[in-house]
């Protein structure tokens, strides 16, 4: 459960950019005000629905073969991929990282029979293809209508109006993100509780699980994921307030609809599609397609890479048996690797600064 909440925290800071990068890029909000608003609404959104939590807990792998060690391996796969893509500033999907990690861990533990292929196709693969395409189309259509309406008006008042509008659409997307993404951690914790025998009967998420998951993702959001915010806010397109409004509005509609239907959607895919659609509708050359290609490559690699890491984490844990020793060994190894990576970066910082000054 502690590892699940750690993943939830990384999900928060990894996906902060999804909700607020466009608002920061267009100066609709200051960075700190934007992350504070997003953190509060992420927390509130976690209480809106539990449909996605049920999908994650029951629709991806066979619940009766899951053990706490399998859940742990899947979480390590997701956390590792989140940190790797954050390091390179790539807005990949935390949702698919979690699902991939669980699939890899369950596959190594119990074989292919543990994987619900139809559930992955219906609940993961198809939404991953449809959602960004839909957001692209909706945002593109929205920006064309917006430009048709305000094209002859003075830019100053128009931009101020759409910056105010972004306060609403940014808040709505933050609420949608909390509704969809916090539920994935709820589903994983509930799955672990069922596997350990602490819950029985019909699927239900305990209230303390909802509160703790909402708290972890909101704290992660408040810490900010500035590398990915820069990529999403300014490296894909040079965004004006109207484009930011259209991208956020389209993304919010898609994510809230998916949450209502119980699809564990990637908010990263959705907002990226919305941003590209808002840029391409103005003119195709407005989109930096090289950056978009790198993001798409990260999307494709997320499921298999997190699955490999999750499977390896489970396999290493299982060497020490079914008790907690293997989990502790893997956890210490992961913490050591993270500390070494960040320590190396901190040591390089002064040297790079001195070189730049020289």
Per the model's pLDDT, the better-predicted residue between 231 and 136 turns out to be 136
Task: Confirm whether 348 is domain-assigned.
Answer: no
Q: What is the pLDDT of residue 356?
A: 42
The pair of three-digit structure tokens given for residue 103, joined into one six-digit string: 């699939």
Q: What is the pLDDT of residue 173?
A: 87
Residues 255-265: b if buried by 16+ CB within 10 A, e if exposed: bbebbeebbbb
DSSP 3-state of 66: coil
Task: Confirm whether 95 is domain-assigned.
Answer: yes
Report the pLDDT averaged over residues 331-337: 85
Task: Confirm whether 50 is domain-assigned.
Answer: yes
Q: CB within 8 A of 88, min separation 6: which ones?
A: 227
Q: Are 203 and 57 in contact (CB under 8 A)?
A: yes
Q: What is the pLDDT of residue 225?
A: 65
Task: Confirm whether 8 is domain-assigned.
Answer: yes
Q: How confident is the model at residue 353 (pLDDT cuts 50, 70, 90)?
A: very low
Per the model's pLDDT, the better-predicted residue between 168 and 321 turns out to be 168
Cα distances (angstroms) measured from residue 57 to each of 197, 212, 288: 15, 17, 38
- Highest mean pLDDT, choosing among 83-97, 131-145, 211-225, 255-269: 131-145
Number of domains in the chain: 1
- Alpha carbon dihedral 90, 308, 215, 19, in 10-degree steps, equals 20
Task: Confirm whether 222 is domain-assigned.
Answer: yes
Q: How confident is the model at residue 239 (pLDDT cuts 50, 70, 90)?
A: confident
The string of pLDDT tens digits covering residues 283-333 is 888 888 888 888 888 888 999 999 999 999 999 988 887 667 888 888 888
Task: Confirm whether 344 is domain-assigned.
Answer: no
Burial of 208 (0-12, 13-18, 19+ CB in 10 A): exposed
The string of pLDDT tens digits covering residues 82-133 is 888 888 777 788 888 888 999 999 999 989 988 988 888 887 888 888 888 9
Q: Are 258 and 234 in contact (CB under 8 A)?
A: no
**108: domain range?**
2-338
DSSP 3-state of 115: strand
Task: Confirm whether 174 is domain-assigned.
Answer: yes
How far is Cα 283 from Cα 266, in angstroms, rounded to an integer? 26
Q: Say if residue 197's pLDDT is above 70.
A: yes
Q: How many CA atoms lie within 13 A of 94 on its CB side?
A: 32
DSSP 3-state of 61: strand
How far is Cα 137 from Cα 119, in angstroms, rounded to an integer? 26
Q: How confident is the model at residue 227 (pLDDT cuts 50, 70, 90)?
A: low
Task: Confirm whether 57 is domain-assigned.
Answer: yes
pTM for this entry: 0.79
Q: What is the pLDDT of residue 358?
A: 46
- Alpha carbon dihedral 74, 75, 76, 81, in 10-degree steps, equals 90
How far is Cα 119 from Cα 99, in angstroms, rounded to an integer? 11
The pair of three-digit structure tokens given for residue 261, joined into one six-digit string: 């239907």
């Amino acid at each position: 459960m502690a590892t699940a909440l750690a993943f939830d925290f990384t999900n928060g800071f990894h996906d902060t950019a999804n909700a607020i990068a466009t608002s920061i890029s267009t100066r609709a909000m200051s960075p700190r005000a934007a992350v504070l608003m997003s953190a509060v609404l992420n927390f509130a959104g976690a209480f809106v629905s539990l449909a996605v939590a049920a999908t994650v807990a029951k629709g991806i792998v066979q619940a009766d073969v899951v053990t706490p060690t399998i859940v742990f391996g899947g979480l390590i796969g997701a956390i590792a991929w989140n940190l790797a893509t954050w390091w390179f500033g790539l807005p990949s999907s935390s949702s698919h990282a979690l699902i991939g990690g669980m699939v890899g861990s369950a596959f190594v533990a119990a074989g292919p029979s543990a994987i619900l292929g139809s559930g992955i196709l219906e609940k993961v693969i198809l939404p991953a293809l449809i959602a960004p395409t839909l957001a692209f189309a909706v945002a593109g259509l929205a920006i064309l209508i917006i430009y048709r309406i305000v094209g002859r008006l003075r830019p100053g008042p128009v931009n101020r109006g759409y910056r105010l509008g972004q306060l609403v659409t940014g808040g709505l997307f933050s609420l949608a993100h909390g509704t969809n993404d916090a539920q994935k951690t709820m589903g994983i914790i509930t799955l672990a509780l069922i596997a350990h025998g602490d819950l029985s009967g019909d699927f239900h998420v305990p209230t303390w699980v909802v509160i703790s998951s909402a708290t972890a993702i909101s704290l992660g959001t408040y810490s900010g994921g500035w590398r990915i915010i820069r990529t999403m806010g300014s490296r894909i397109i040079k965004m004006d307030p109207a484009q930011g409004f259209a991208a956020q509005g389209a993304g919010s509609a898609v994510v809230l609809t998916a949450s209502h239907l119980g699809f564990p959607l990637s908010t990263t895919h959705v907002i990226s599609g919305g941003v590209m659609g808002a840029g391409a509708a103005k003119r195709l050359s407005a989109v930096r397609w090289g950056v978009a290609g790198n993001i798409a490559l990260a999307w494709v690699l997320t499921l298999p890479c997190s699955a490999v890491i999750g499977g390896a984490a489970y396999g290493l844990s299982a060497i020490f048996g079914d008790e907690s020793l293997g989990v502790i060994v893997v956890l210490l190894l992961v913490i050591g690797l993270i500390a070494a990576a960040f320590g190396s970066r901190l040591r390089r910082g002064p040297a790079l600064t001195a070189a730049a000054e020289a």
